[in-house]
Amino acid sequence: MHNRDQNHPPIIELDKDHPGFHDKEYRKRRNLIAEKAYRFNIGDRIPRVEYTEEEHKTWSEVLAKLSSLHKTHACKYFLDSLSLIELNNKKVPQLCDINILLKDLSGFQMVPVAGLISPEHFLSRLGDKIFSATQYIRHHSSPFYTPEPDIIHELVGHAITLAHPFFSELNFRFGLAAKKAKPESFERLIQAYWYTLEFGLIQENGEIKAYGAGLLSSIGEMPSYESEAKLYPFDLEKISNTQFDPTDYQPGLFVAPSIESLQTTLIDWLDNFQ
């Protein structure tokens, strides 16, 4: 990640089909928040973002919908974590406040980034218990959809899971594996993370539940994975060799037989990854 000179503020590029592409005020807002992230260095105080009333409204609206879906679709460990990180349902929480809780619970800290960073950078930081998180929020015209990770995804999907020892340990193990991975093997590691901690499913009491942060923060994809996606048995060899498209719903997902099996199998695979 690179700092930018204050006389040359970052320009956030949005695709033409992005909900906020034609909204000059939204783009200006994104640049303002990105500027804070570009100025940040590890060890600095986490910058606060003064969210607008419209942004708070979007947060509240999406959180209410997700909370309802979690009751039906989220795995038990995620539901257990909800009491560890109680998110304000009216105001967008600040990363610096969430970090106070995470530090005591798992040792992880969330640090701001302006947008997507390289998978190598993202995964390697996990080995230092640093999670790279965006601070902007999706466009108000499309509260139930975002083509990129935003603060809702980061907090609902990742902050809550990082509070739980099961998820925080797996994130940490991915980071350790990333630090020693050979360049030619890195794509397999990225794909394993994607189909587990981002879009993983698990068998729980005879039902298929979500444990991946991408699913747990998606209003559209969380309730539709059983009807819309092909579900495959958990196989890390196949998982790590399956490419993905981050801009669309996942056509295929992998279901682990149990939390215990997932933990044992994945940690063993990561410990021996080269």
Tell me how crowded residue 156 is: count the other CB atoms within 10 A of its CB.
24
Active-site residue set: 153, 158, 198, 217
The per-residue pLDDT of the chain, averaged, comes to 92
pLDDT of 182 > 50? The answer is yes
Rounded to 5°, the CA angle 116-198-96 comes to 60
Q: In this predicted model, which residue has the larger pLDDT, 246 or 254? A: 254
- pLDDT band, residue 68 (cuts 50/70/90): very high
Q: What are phi and psi of 52, to 5 degrees?
A: -85, 165
- To 10 degrees, the CA torsion angle through 181, 198, 262, 191? -40
- pLDDT band, residue 10 (cuts 50/70/90): low
Region 32-56 average pLDDT: 94
Among residues 246, 131, 234, 130, the alpha carbon closest in space to that of 198 is found at 246
Predicted TM-score (pTM) of the model is 0.92
> In the chain, pLDDT over 90 holds for what percent of residues?
79
Q: How far apart are CA 170 and CA 127, in angstroms?
A: 10
**Residue 21 has what pLDDT?**
64
Looking up tokens 């996942």, which residue turns up? 250
Is the Cα torsion angle 180, 182, 188, 191 positive or negative in sign? positive
Among residues 234, 269, 226, the alpha carbon closest in space to that of 250 is found at 226
Contact (CB, 8 A) for 27 and 12 = yes
Region 191-201 average pLDDT: 98
Radius of gyration of the chain (CA): 18
